[in-house]
A and B are shown apart, each in its own frame.
Chain A
Amino acid sequence: MALPDAEQTYAALADRMRGAIAFDAKFVGIYSGGAWLAERLAQTIEGDHPVGYIDVSFYRDDFDRKGLKPEVKRTQLPFEVEGATIVLVDDVLYTGRSVRAAVNELFDYGRPARIELAVLVDRGGRELPIEATYVGARLAVARDLSIVLSRAADGRFAITAEAGGA
């Protein structure tokens, strides 16, 4: 399976977002890949787009089976969620469960006016009725592989495939 070049995919995503998102959209990145992307998008896309970070550990639907992951980061939303236009940012959209958790969590902070979803890679395999508003690239991936985004020391992104689903 051929993996797309991460930097090119990122550029494609940013292009699709530029001019389409609201001028006052706030980026909320889902840790960790989504957080990196949100930070870079805020720099790449012109305009004032504050960045928040969200850890969905407390809202996941697999807690009963898997427990909390060893490291739970702090959700930081340095702006008012009430009435905000938010672009939720994640690296890979797969089953849609992380996004569902993130949306539920955002609603515990306030009632946003609107939430859009931006993802670097959409790999299909949805288990919930969720779609991304902005997509960098679409991929067909075998169930037993994960698509992983990494960030080098100089900030450049890379996409790899690893064994182990999701």
Chain B
Amino acid sequence: MHNPQLNAAGELTHLLTLEGLPAEFIVRILDTAVPFVSIAERDVKKVPLLRGRSVFNLFFESSTRTRTTFEIAAKRLSADVINLNIGVSSTSKGETLLDTVDNLVAMNADMFVVRHSQSGAPHLIAAHLNRTGRAHVHVVNAGDGRHAHPTQGLLDLFTIRHYKKDFRRLTVAIVGDVLHSRVARSLIHGLTTLETPEVRAIGPKTLLPTAVQSLGVHVYHDMREGLAGCDVVVMLRLQSERMRGALLPSPGEYFKHYGLTAEKLAMAKPDAIVMHPGPMNRGIEIDSAVADGDRSVILPQVTFGIAVRMAVMSILAGG
């Protein structure tokens, strides 16, 4: 099946998912992000790469955090950034998703950063652009339903590589609501593509997808067992809706079994790092002391996130 992210010349033209993205593309994005980290440390944090280009943030699901990091990344590339919170504009007036996209392309959009509550929405937009002869307009998936959040996956991979160097020697645990998590899916695809030998999903049965092993992970329901010998611990955010959906009884019980405390973290290797995509629910999935502790790399993840997004946009926009 043709990979809709690649153009006819085999170059990356959209970033929709890490699934099926060859390792060399992932490594190139990570390598390109390295110099962008340095740029952030200068006084002048801008480079002129995307000058004159228009990046439209199309957020059908609101998210100030993610939108802000994409906005910063685009502006540091000297692009013009336009933010659209669609929930309150055209589509609620009955304009279809693709009509909205067509209108914005007519306004010379060069790149769409799309977040949508439905899995597959960015694929639909990319296929539409490819099919209507506008393959020079690029789509970056900023999170679609439960399906994928590829830039988050990439920044998580970048973070792991920064601290741990070689994926092929690592045991990585992902803890929490994997069923509903696009962050988890993207990270799992990235880790398996980069040949991480042991990827673990830890959580209660209600929060793990059917056939989760087919994604390439080992399943643990006991967190202490699952953390034993881990090099990287990734904590997923628990959304309060899960309590209402009869998936979990209470945050208290969740924290007891699946919340990351210093005591549970001690099961992992002494130099294991702790990650979280944010925003954190302190006391529900992670203890404050651990979140602020010396093994936590949660804040560096944010810095790396901007550099990785700059790398993605530069690679898509080039040539």
Contacts and interface: CB of A to CB of B under 8 A. Distances in A.
The reply to whether A and B meet directly (CB within 8 Å) is yes
Nearest to A61: B48
Given A68-B314, A109-B42, A63 B49 contact: yes
B38 A75 contact: yes
A67 B38 contact: no
A152 B44 CA distance: 37
B106 to A, nearest CB: 21
A67 B318 CA distance: 3
A64 interface: yes
Interface string A60-98: 000111111011111110000000000000000000000
A30 B295 CA distance: 38
Contacts of A108: 42, 44, 46-47
B35 interface: yes
B34 A67 contact: no
Contacts of A68: 32, 49, 314-315, 318
Contact of A67 (B31, B44, B47, B319): B319
A73 B35 contact: yes
Contact of A64 (B28, B42, B47, B319): B319
Given A67-B315, A74-B38, A58 B49 contact: yes
A73 B28 CA distance: 12
Given A58-B35, A72-B35, A74-B34, A63 B44 contact: no
B38 A58 contact: no
Interface in B6-46: 11, 28, 31-32, 34-35, 38-39, 42-44, 46
Sorting the interface of chain B by its residue count into under 10, 10 to 19, 20 to 34 or 35 or more gives 20 to 34
A72 B30 CA distance: 11
A108 B45 CA distance: 8
B315 A71 contact: no
B48 A72 contact: no
Nearest to B318: A67
A65 to B, nearest CB: 6
A157 interface: no
Given A71-B31, A72-B32, A65 B319 contact: yes
Contacts of A58: 35, 39, 47-49, 314
A55 interface: yes
A67 B315 CA distance: 7
Interface in A97-156: 104-105, 108-110
Given A59-B47, A59-B48, A109-B44, A66 B31 contact: no
Contacts of B315: 67-68
A65 B49 CA distance: 12
Contacts of B28: 70
27 contacts: A57-B35, A58-B48, A58-B49, A59-B47, A63-B49, A63-B317, A64-B319, A65-B319, A66-B318, A66-B319, A67-B315, A67-B318, A68-B32, A68-B314, A68-B318, A71-B31, A72-B31, A72-B32, A73-B35, A74-B34, A75-B35, A75-B38, A105-B47, A108-B46, A108-B47, A109-B42, A109-B44
